[in-house]
Amino acid sequence: MTDAPGPLEPLGRSGKPILDRLAFERLTMAHRRELKLHCYRMIGSLNEAEDLVQDTLLSAWRARLQFDGRGSARGWLYAIATNNCLNAIKARAASRRILELPRRPPSDGAATGGPVGEIAWLEPYPDTELPNLAEVEPGPEARYETREAVQLAFVAAIQLLPPRQRAALLLCDVLGWSAVETAQLLGGSTASINSALQRARAKLGERYPEGRPSQPSRPSQQEGLLLERYMQAWQADNLDGLVDLLREDATYHMPPWREWYRGHLAIGAFLGNVWDNFAGYRVVAIGANAQPAVGVYALGRQDFVWRPHSLHVIEAADGKIASLTIYVPPLGPTLFAAFGLPPEPIVP
């Protein structure tokens, strides 16, 4: 931004020139990725998050007269993005996205319900779209580590909160904003924000003993080896080897199907029923929600054509797989492009 306005550059209320397009782009691009992640946490959808960021930037451009550089550009943009998210949630029929149906017990045996299209399923988030996590460390009042607040389990947990409680928890406990700052952003009193936070933390406490998912492991050589063994098990048609990688109490979810499984024996039995549906598998390592993840292509038994099949997000703990979320057809293949995966595997 120049010190003096150009000939066609009007002055704002502070006497400073109003942001021109180039200055606006410089101002907003620095925050684009973290705004998209914030919208994803609020809404649970990668595509909707992208649309909401676009709406946020358009709203900010139209409202640039209200920003004169004296306040925080980041706070100004977060205010617009958060309110856009709240309006979007209010406008849609399903106010939250889920990984499992509430109060549905784990299944035992084959899945027979079929895919459920009318449920809004929580989507994974590509690591390539994440901001540099080291550069967006939360403020001192945050309760969650940066990596923890990206994990799929955490995003699934906060989707169970009412929208305003979700926003308050993200702004205060994830970003580290004070209750005063959050009240200024969301509107209302500091006391109302503190009350919303208490209710949100209590709700999380019903799902997690300490009000939070288990602490995620840091990327390590052990985690990399686990991912490599997981990929080899699929490509070598080694179901027993895959089951050996699971913790005894592991969980398995497979959106868009209702059924989910708990325990390596139940998961192994289910996979045994479907393992031979295809003639082979090829696996590509990706990253999702700061967790190990893979895209799996399957070879049709009838036409011997390779097609995108499923996207797997892995939660590791103590050298084993604690949780598997596998996005299967018809949902899984629709996610491949967002993760940079081609429509068919690249054969070496």
Domains of the chain: total: 2
- 296 vs 292: CA distance, rounded Å: 13
Of 66-70, 241-245, 343-347, where does the model show the most confidence? 241-245
Instruction: Give the residue from 207, 242, 265 where a domain finishes.
Output: 207
216 within a domain of the structure (yes/no): no
Query: Is the pTM above the cut of 0.85?
Result: yes
Query: Could you report the per-residue pLDDT of 201-217, keeping only the tens digit for each?
Result: 999 888 776 555 655 55
Which of residues 93 and 246 earns the better pLDDT score?
246
Lowest mean pLDDT among 221-225, 237-241, 294-298: 221-225
Task: Put residue 122 in one of left, alpha, beta given phi > 0 → left and psi -120 to 50 → alpha.
Answer: beta
14 within a domain of the structure (yes/no): no
Residues 196 and 322 in one domain: no
Residues 137 and 271 in one domain: no
Residues 229 and 330 in one domain: yes
Domain that holds residue 90: 21-207
Query: Could you report the per-residue pLDDT of 50-64, keeping only the tens digit for each?
Result: 999 999 999 988 887
Query: Could you report the per-residue pLDDT of 144-190, keeping only the tens digit for each?
Result: 888 889 999 999 999 999 999 999 999 999 999 999 999 988 888 99
Query: Could you report the per-residue pLDDT of 6-65, keeping only the tens digit for each?
Result: 333 343 444 444 567 777 787 788 889 999 999 999 999 999 999 999 999 999 888 877
129 within a domain of the structure (yes/no): yes
CB atoms within 10 A of CB 208: 13
Residues 135 and 229 in one domain: no
Residues 132 and 240 in one domain: no
Residue owning tokens 């003096």: 4
Instruction: Give the residue from 181, 207, 233 where a domain finishes.
Output: 207
